[in-house]
Amino acid sequence: MINIFWFRRDLRLEDNTALEEALSSGMPVLPLFIFDSNITEELSHNDARVSFIYDTLSSIDKELKKWGSSLLVKKGEPQKIWQDLITTFEINSVFINKDYEPYALLRDSLIENLLSKNNISLKKYKDQVIFEEKEILKSDNSPYTVFTPYKNRWLQKPAEKLPLKARDSSVSRKNIYECNFEFPLIEMAGFKHSSMKVRPYDLSAINDYEKFRDLPFADKTSYLSPHLRFGTVSIRKVVTMASNINQTFLNELIWREFFMQILYNYPDVVTGNFRSKYDGINWINSESGFERWCNGETGYPLVDAGMRQLNATGYMHNRVRMVTAGFLCKHLLIDWRWGEAYFAEKLLDYELSSNNGNWQWAAGTGCDAAPYFRIFNPHSQQKRFDPKNEYVRKWVDDFNMSSYPKPIIEHEYARQRAISVYKQGILKH
């Protein structure tokens, strides 16, 4: 009889809660990964995130082989795969780290039913956040919808129960299931290798985080986001470092958890405005305007640099994400859901909770959002955050050349129009 540990968005062997629990359970642990076809079918064949997942799994498999084990990799519809696994192996329990996205919650509850019908228990652990679900609530037991009080509560709580101690995985390695599965080619999952790469994270500059975090040309942020997304680093390790070194940086990690608990407690945000008073906004939704925005051809250099960086690398600096997102919603009056979907397709760090939360923030429709009448002037943002045009020049080859597009819309006109359209939308509600 064996236990199975199912890797999902926790792609590491160190300080992995459910894996450690499985290895301490006393039964041999078989490590498993499934390329979930419900997710992969939506992606292009050279999606860089799948390449990253694949390369990470390959390293994990190599390490497991040193332990005398290997990774079982499957592709397909998870329920069907689990049905097959149940008939192939004699399974006692399945160990997973929790995933809080609506699709994952549904999938896991279906698998839990299937397992339980076969007398197999599903053991679920918190791993990708410090505080999950409803662990941080207001005194009336409702979720926080404003960041600062959430953050204050989050910061008070650690003294009581912050689970920061990294686990020592070497202790229980001997409980791994001995096997030698062949590690598949990426083509088995229906993909090709991508030339776009996830950068390693770098925490060496976070001492001075607040000095440069808003300066895209400095390019000194941590690049942690895809690693937190896919669990190639432990959040406990990162929070421990951040707590000792830089409070502003820690706040950003708390924003991540804030949006995760918003998504968990208010899953309707996936398709709808957090604040329904904005449901009446009459978006213009111009296809050609959207295309120019996607291609980085709006004639606003900071917006275009951001979109071109995104298209070329799968990254975009946070300040520039704020400017490009605000520009789409307010200057072009295009529904935030269009921009959110485009970012979801392109960002290497795409994370439903953070993407949705930040898009709704930029559109003014979110929980703790920028007020609708606060409209960034992309030129002033450029002067302030890229005063020597270093970032812009890096991404916009034709900056200041005659070939560079004229502004798609005049700023002051767009600002007035946005305020008036938002106002009318609110009145309609």
Residues that bind ligand FAD (CB under 6 A): 213, 221-225, 228-229, 252-253, 255-256, 259, 318, 321-322, 325, 343, 347, 349-351, 354-355, 358-359, 362
Q: Is residue 3 a contact partner of residue 28, using CB atoms and an 8 Å limit?
A: yes
Give whichever of 4 and 198 is closer to ligand FAD, judged by the CB atom: 198
Burial class (CB in 10 A: 0-12, 13-18, 19+), 319: buried
Give the Å distances, CA to CA, from 283 to 269, 361, 428.
18, 17, 14
C-alpha to C-alpha distance for 343 and 358, rounded to whole angstroms: 11
| Residue 92 tokens, joined | 């006692």
Residue 53 CB, nearest distance to ligand FAD (Å)? 16
Q: Min. distance of Cβ 207 from ligand FAD in angstroms? A: 13
d(C-alpha 411, C-alpha 386), whole Å: 19
Choice between 83 and 243, CB closer to ligand FAD: 243
The C-alpha atoms of residue 280 and residue 267 are separated, in whole angstroms, by 20
H/E run at residue 304: helix 301-313
In whole angstroms, how close is the CB of 263 to ligand FAD at the nearest point?
Answer: 11
Determine if residue 151 is left, alpha or beta; phi over 0 gives left, psi from -120 to 50 gives alpha, anything else beta: alpha
115 versus 260: smaller Cβ distance to ligand FAD: 260
Q: How far is the CB of 303 from ligand FAD (least distance, A)?
A: 12
Q: Is the Cα torsion angle 301, 302, 306, 312 positive or negative in sign?
A: positive
Considering the complex, state which of residue 53 and residue 115 has its C-beta at the smaller distance from ligand FAD: 53
Smallest distance from ligand FAD to CB 94, Å: 28
Which CB sits closer to ligand FAD, 151 or 229?
A: 229
| Closest-CA residue to 331 (of 362, 309, 367, 310) | 362
* Choice between 4 and 375, CB closer to ligand FAD: 375
Torsion angles phi and psi, residue 76, rounded to 5: 145, -160
Q: Which of 318, 323, 266, 277 is nearest to 300 (CA)?
A: 323
Choice between 137 and 241, CB closer to ligand FAD: 241
For residue 21, give both structure tokens: 């629990």
Q: Minimum distance between the CB of residue 269 and ligand FAD, rounded to whole angstroms?
A: 14
Per the document, the length of the chain is 429
CB of residue 256 to ligand FAD, shortest distance in Å: 4
State which residue, 34 or 325, has the beta carbon closest to ligand FAD.
Answer: 325
Q: What is the smallest separation between the CB atom of 325 and ligand FAD, expressed in angstroms?
A: 4
Task: Count Cβ atoms below 10 Å from residue 424 Cβ, excluding itself.
Answer: 12
